[in-house]
C-alpha cells in the first residue's frame, strides 16, 4: 500500500465548497490588494493568537525580513539563529547588512538556550528562535534572557501555528512572531503567504508601511519599503482554514501519538511532544543512525518520507563566507545526518499509519539498528 508524505488535495476536499465561495467573494468584491479579506483574516488571526496586531505579508521569508527591517537591524549588528532549519531564518540577516551568528540546537531540534547565552554580546540585537517541526523552543527562558539584555526575540512560528505553552501561543512570547502559510504548514494557503503578530503598535505600524512600499497614504511614501502584501485570495482561503486549525492540529497530535505508541523507542529516537499543546507536529521527525537505509527501505515499500534538513545552515555554500567548518556546531551536524520525517498530516487513515509503523518495524527487525545518538 502506497503512503504519500502529504496529500494536500485530501485536506482541501471537505472544505472545497467554502474555499471556492471565499474566492468568489473576493472576485466579486473587486478588492484585490489589501482589501477587506486581508483585514478580516488579520483580525481573526490576531484574535486566535491573543495578539494585539497581525500584519499579513506575502511569505514567511518576508515576515522575517520585514521584522528585522522594522526593528532597525543594520550593518554592525549581530543576529543569532539556529544552525538547523530552513535557510530563510538565516539569509534574511545579511540582507539587512547584519552578521549571522549560528547557535546549536538541542535534542528537540530547537535552539540551544545555553549556547545562545554564550554567543550574546554587545552587538547582538536579535535572536531568531524557530519552533522547528512544530515543537516550541524554550521561549520562557529565551524571553527572559533576551529582555534582560535588551535584545529582540523573534519567534519563527512557521511550523508551529496553534502551539502554545501555558496557554500562551507561539508568536506572542517575544517582540514578534513570524509565520509562513506556505501549503505544507499547519495553516497553509494555496500558494505563498505569511504574517507577523506583535503586541507592539509602533512595530505593527512600521510593518504595515514596509510591506506596501512605505506608503502612508495614497501616493505618499515615507519609507523605502517592499511589495510584500498578503494576497487577498490567499487571505480569504486562510480565513476559511483558520476555522479547522485546532481540529487539524488535534489530528496531527493523534497521528504522532499513534507513532509514539507503535514505533520502537529502543531502535529510533522519537520526538518528545513536550508539555501539552507545545508540539503541533508540522513534521513528525525521528532519528536513526541508519537513516538513509531506512529511507530507501521505506521507499522500496512505497512509504514516502522527507529529510528536513540534510545540511545544517552553517555548512551551506551561501554561508561559507562566515568561516564555519564541520565540527563547529556538533548537534546540528549530527541531527542533519539522522533525521527522517514521516507522514503525519491530517487526513491520513489508520490503515496508512499502520502501514508506515509496520514497515518501520520490519526494518528494525531486519537490521540491528543502534539507538540514535
Ligand X SMILES: Cc1ncc(COP(=O)(O)O)c(C=O)c1O
CB of 162 or CB of 194, closer to ligand X: 194
Neighbours of 99 (CB within 10 A): 17
Strand partners, 57: 194, 229
Asked if residues 254 and 48 have their Cβ atoms less than 8 Å apart, the reply is no
Angle CA 308–314–316, to nearest 5: 70
Site residues (CB under 6 A) for ligand X? 59-61, 85-86, 88-89, 130, 156, 158-159, 180, 182, 192, 194
Least spacing, CB of residue 230 vs ligand X, in Å? 11
CB of 188 or CB of 369, closer to ligand X: 188
d(Cα 152, Cα 334) in Å, to the nearest integer?
29
Least spacing, CB of residue 194 vs ligand X, in Å? 5
Q: Would you call the peptide bond into 370 cis, given omega within 30 degrees of 0 as the criterion?
A: no
CB of 174 or CB of 268, closer to ligand X: 174
Asked if residues 220 and 209 have their Cβ atoms less than 8 Å apart, the reply is no
CB of 131 or CB of 352, closer to ligand X: 131
Least spacing, CB of residue 311 vs ligand X, in Å? 15
DSSP β-ladder status, 152-156 and 176-180: parallel
CB of 178 or CB of 267, closer to ligand X: 178
CB of 280 or CB of 353, closer to ligand X: 280
Helix (H) or strand (E) run with residue 124 in it: strand 124-130
Least spacing, CB of residue 156 vs ligand X, in Å? 5
Least spacing, CB of residue 31 vs ligand X, in Å? 23
Which residue number places its CB atom closest to ligand X?
Answer: 60
Grid coordinates representing 40 are: 478580516
Least spacing, CB of residue 357 vs ligand X, in Å? 26
CB of 21 or CB of 95, closer to ligand X: 95
d(Cα 109, Cα 331) in Å, to the nearest integer?
9
Least spacing, CB of residue 248 vs ligand X, in Å? 17
Q: Which of 317, 360, 365, 324 is nearest to 340 (CA)?
A: 360
d(Cα 287, Cα 133) in Å, to the nearest integer?
13
Grid coordinates representing 121 are: 554580546
Amino acid at each position: 500500500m502506497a503512503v504519500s508524505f502529504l496529500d494536500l488535495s485530501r485536506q482541501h476536499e471537505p472544505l472545497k465548497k467554502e474555499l471556492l465561495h471565499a474566492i468568489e467573494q473576493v472576485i466579486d468584491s473587486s478588492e484585490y490588494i489589501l482589501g477587506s479579506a486581508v483585514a478580516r483574516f488579520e483580525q481573526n488571526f490576531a484574535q486566535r493568537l491573543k495578539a494585539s496586531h497581525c500584519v499579513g505579508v506575502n511569505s514567511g521569508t518576508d515576515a522575517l525580513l520585514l521584522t528585522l527591517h522594522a526593528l532597525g537591524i543594520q550593518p554592525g549588528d549581530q543576529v543569532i539563529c539556529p544552525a538547523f532549519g530552513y535557510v530563510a531564518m538565516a539569509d534574511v540577516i545579511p540582507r539587512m547588512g547584519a552578521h549571522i551568528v549560528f547557535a546549536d540546537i538541542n535534542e528537540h531540534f530547537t535552539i540551544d538556550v545555553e549556547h545562545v547565552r554564550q554567543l550574546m554580546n554587545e552587538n547582538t540585537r536579535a535572536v531568531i528562535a524557530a519552533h522547528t517541526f512544530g515543537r516550541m523552543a524554550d521561549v520562557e527562558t529565551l524571553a527572559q534572557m533576551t529582555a534582560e539584555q535588551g535584545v529582540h526575540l523573534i519567534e519563527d512560528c512557521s511550523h508551529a501555528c496553534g502551539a502554545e505553552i501555558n496557554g500562551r501561543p507561539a508568536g506572542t512570547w517575544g517582540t514578534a512572531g513570524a509565520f509562513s502559510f506556505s501549503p505544507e504548514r499547519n495553516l497553509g494557503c494555496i500558494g505563498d503567504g505569511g504574517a507577523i503578530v506583535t503586541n507592539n503598535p509602533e512595530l505593527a505600524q512600521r510593518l504595515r508601511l514596509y510591506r506596501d512600499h512605505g506608503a502612508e497614504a495614497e501616493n505618499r511614501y515615507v519609507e523605502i519599503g517592499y511589495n510584500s502584501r498578503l494576497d487577498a485570495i490567499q487571505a480569504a482561503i486562510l480565513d476559511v482554514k483558520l476555522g479547522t486549525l485546532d481540529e487539524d492540529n488535534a489530528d496531527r497530535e493523534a497521528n504522532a501519538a499513534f507513532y509514539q505508541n507503535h514505533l520502537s523507542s529502543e531502535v529510533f529516537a522519537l520526538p518528545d511532544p513536550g508539555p501539552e499543546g507545545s508540539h503541533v507536529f508540522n513534521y513528525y521527525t525521528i532519528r536513526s543512525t541508519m537513516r538513509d537505509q531506512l529511507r530507501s527501505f521505506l521507499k522500496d515499500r512505497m512509504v514516502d518520507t522527507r529529510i528536513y534538513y540534510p545540511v545544517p545552515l552553517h555548512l551551506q555554500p551561501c554561508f561559507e563566507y562566515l568561516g564555519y567548518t564541520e565540527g563547529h556546531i556538533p548537534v546540528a551536524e549530527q541531527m542533519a545526518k539522522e533525521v527522517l520525517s514521516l507522514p503525519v498530516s491530517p487526513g491520513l487513515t489508520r490503515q496508512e499509519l499502520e502501514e508506515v509503523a509496520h514497515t518501520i518495524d520490519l526494518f528494525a527487525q531486519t537490521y540491528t539498528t543502534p539507538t540514535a545518538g
